[in-house]
Amino acid sequence: MSFKNLLKTSLFGFPLESCLMNASGVHCTTETELNILLDTNIGALVTKSCTLEFREGNPLPRYADIPKGSINSMGLPNNGLRYYLNFLEENELNNNKLSVLSIAGLNKNENIELLKLANTCKAVRIIELNLSCPNIAGKPQTGYDFDASNVLLQEAFDLCQKPIAVKLPPYFDESHFESMASVLKKFPLAYVCCVNSIGNALWIDANTNSTVIKPKSGFGGLGGMYIKPTALANVRKFYTLLEGVDIVGCGGIQHGLDVYEHILCGASVVQIGTTLWQEGIACFERIGNELIEIMQQKGYTDINQFKGKLKEIQL
């Protein structure tokens, strides 16, 4: 067996050569970035979360590296839906990776229009509906409004024949896990991605007595190692609440051990964001090799041998 075969998995029935993929928002905005992803050893790629039309995004600076992660308030900069549909169509025949289109309308009506148009594109395999973008001033996260999420998903599945997945914000209260799960159970979701960044964080540069990003008075989404415990908890909770639904883990993935722990909690695939931003595409090879080494040490030949097998501490 090739060592690389250890990373094989599947997502909504699609076989993947690797359990690693990019997170929407990182290295996936332009055709150049997406083409580079196509040439890497990831199993799937997801586009930048898009709106109907081009968006410039929030004013600069809107991203900053911080000691154990990142903070950003990007404001959904993207090239518009048609740009990403064209890219997927042009690469359909020579693309051996699962292509996921991420959409993030600024309101329900825009999301419905995005879904209608994406539904007509043969090259779109899965639509990732982003319910969790926290960086639009005056726009609440749909994922924290359970009634609104239910209405949107009902309309989405009524009109769209493409597989639909959702990307969720992080949840912190037991009742919120249960409430969102009760909504998601109604629909045949392709997967559930946990989690987007933790919104409304603030980082200060004490040398200048100032914030490090400009939008929203310096408030932004927190990513990287800071959010790993929250991400793992969300992966685990939705894995147990949504039996049979693939979970995609996202948050705090810097090393192979972080991937291992996400899979142990129930993730079938992981998305990498902050580390991809900071290190570039070389992170996929490094992290994949680190995960292979862990699997070899533990005697695993398939990630399904430990997926979801987290144990409770025995005292």
Query: Which residues are tagged catalytic?
Result: 132-133
Residue 260: CB partners within 8 Å, gap ≥ 6? 291, 294, 295, 306
**Chain-centre distance for alpha carbon 12:** 15
CA separation for the pair 220, 57 (Å, rounded): 13
Helix, strand, coil percent content, the chain, rounded in steps of 5? 40, 20, 40
Contact 7, 288 (CB under 8 A): yes
- What stretches of 168-281 show up as alpha helix (H) in DSSP? 174-184, 228-241, 256-265, 274-279
Contact 283, 252 (CB under 8 A): no
153-168: b (≥16 Cβ within 10 Å) or e: beebeeebebbbbbbb
Q: Using CA of residue 255, residue 261, residue 262, residue 268, what is the dihedral sign? A: positive
